[in-house]
């Protein structure tokens, strides 16, 4: 009788520890869709220093092509959109830790980023460009950047690309516009940044020019936490619907203007 009881207790303890262990493993995972529908909100992470994809409008709100797309995603989910504006190089950590649900930040798909997040279908093809002073006639392309001082936004593909050049001195800024300011002040020789924000920054500064050469070809896509297939399916559906309905082209005209 006694013997039987302790065997039962032992089995109960083993079973219980299995349940507890499973619960702990489950803890690390955020159930995104469950949380989205419970809180009636989906959280986009971005870095609103990247016009025309994300910037602060006159009212101080985050606006731009990505914000417009994110609104469509929230609409499709039937919830409110909340936007968290943070440093570009902290977006993927914020995503992994569950602080945000997706990243819409003109983020280019790279091998390294694919290890830490899942990406939607690409929604825009971009490239890295070089900005120099208008009167600079020594830097005509990438080959002339060797040994030069180059400004970039920290953690971007522009940062990666500039860092590959021989003997360069790369200055990393939290905001692309701050690199542009240092270029104007003569503290650096060039800025390497995505073509669209380059157009915006240069259009507002007539002492600057963009060089012809494309340093890269990249695709922007929306990032979700690894394994968040359900949310990714919704995002891909929204991208497809935008393209099929012609709304995508309207947004391009409205924000990017071509």
| Residues of the shown chain interacting with ligand ARG in the complex, contacts defined by CB under 6 A | 46-47, 49-50, 54, 88, 105-108, 153, 156-157, 194, 218
For the CB of residue 62, give the shortest distance to ligand ARG in the complex, in Å. 10
For the CB of residue 176, give the shortest distance to ligand ARG in the complex, in Å. 7
Alpha-carbon dihedral of residues 70, 214, 249, 231, nearest 10 degrees? -30
Picking from 148, 235, 234, 233, the residue whose alpha carbon sits closest to that of residue 192 is 148
For the CB of residue 241, give the shortest distance to ligand ARG in the complex, in Å. 24
Q: How far apart are CA 80 and CA 98, in angstroms?
A: 17
Which is closer to ligand ARG, CB of 17 or CB of 57? 57
Which is closer to ligand ARG, CB of 105 or CB of 242? 105
Q: Helix, strand, or coil here: 177? A: helix
Which is closer to ligand ARG, CB of 93 or CB of 136? 93
For the CB of residue 250, give the shortest distance to ligand ARG in the complex, in Å. 22
Picking from 60, 32, 31, the residue whose alpha carbon sits closest to that of residue 48 is 60
Which is closer to ligand ARG, CB of 54 or CB of 199? 54
Which is closer to ligand ARG, CB of 163 or CB of 245? 163
For the CB of residue 78, give the shortest distance to ligand ARG in the complex, in Å. 26
- How many Cα atoms occupy the beta-carbon half-sphere of 58 within 13 Å? 0
Q: How far apart are CA 186 and CA 153, in angstroms?
A: 17
């Amino acid at each position: 009788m006694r013997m039987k009881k302790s065997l039962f207790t032992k089995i109960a303890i083993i079973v219980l520890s299995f349940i507890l262990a499973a619960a702990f493993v489950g803890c690390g995972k955020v159930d995104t869709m469950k949380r989205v529908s419970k809180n009636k909100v989906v959280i986009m992470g971005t870095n609103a220093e990247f016009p025309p994809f994300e910037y602060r409008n006159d009212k101080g709100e985050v606006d731009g092509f990505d914000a417009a797309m994110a609104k469509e995603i929230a609409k499709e989910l039937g919830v409110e959109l909340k936007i968290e504006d943070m440093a570009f190089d902290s977006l993927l950590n914020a995503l992994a830790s569950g602080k945000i649900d997706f990243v819409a930040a003109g983020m280019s798909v790279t091998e390294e980023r694919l290890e830490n997040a899942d990406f939607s279908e690409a929604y825009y093809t971009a490239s890295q460009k070089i900005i120099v002073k208008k009167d600079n006639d020594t830097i005509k392309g990438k080959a002339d950047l060797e040994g030069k001082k180059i400004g970039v936004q920290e953690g971007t593909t522009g940062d990666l690309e500039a860092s590959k050049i021989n003997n360069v001195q790369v200055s990393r800024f939290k905001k692309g516009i701050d690199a542009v300011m240092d270029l104007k002040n003569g503290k650096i020789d060039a800025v390497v940044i995505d073509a669209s924000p380059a157009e915006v920054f240069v259009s507002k500064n007539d002492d600057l020019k963009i060089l012809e050469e494309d340093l890269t070809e990249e695709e922007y896509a929306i990032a979700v936490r690894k394994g968040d297939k359900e949310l990714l399916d919704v995002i891909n559906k929204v991208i497809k619907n935008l393209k099929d309905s012609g709304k995508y082209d309207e947004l391009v005209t409205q924000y990017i203007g071509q």
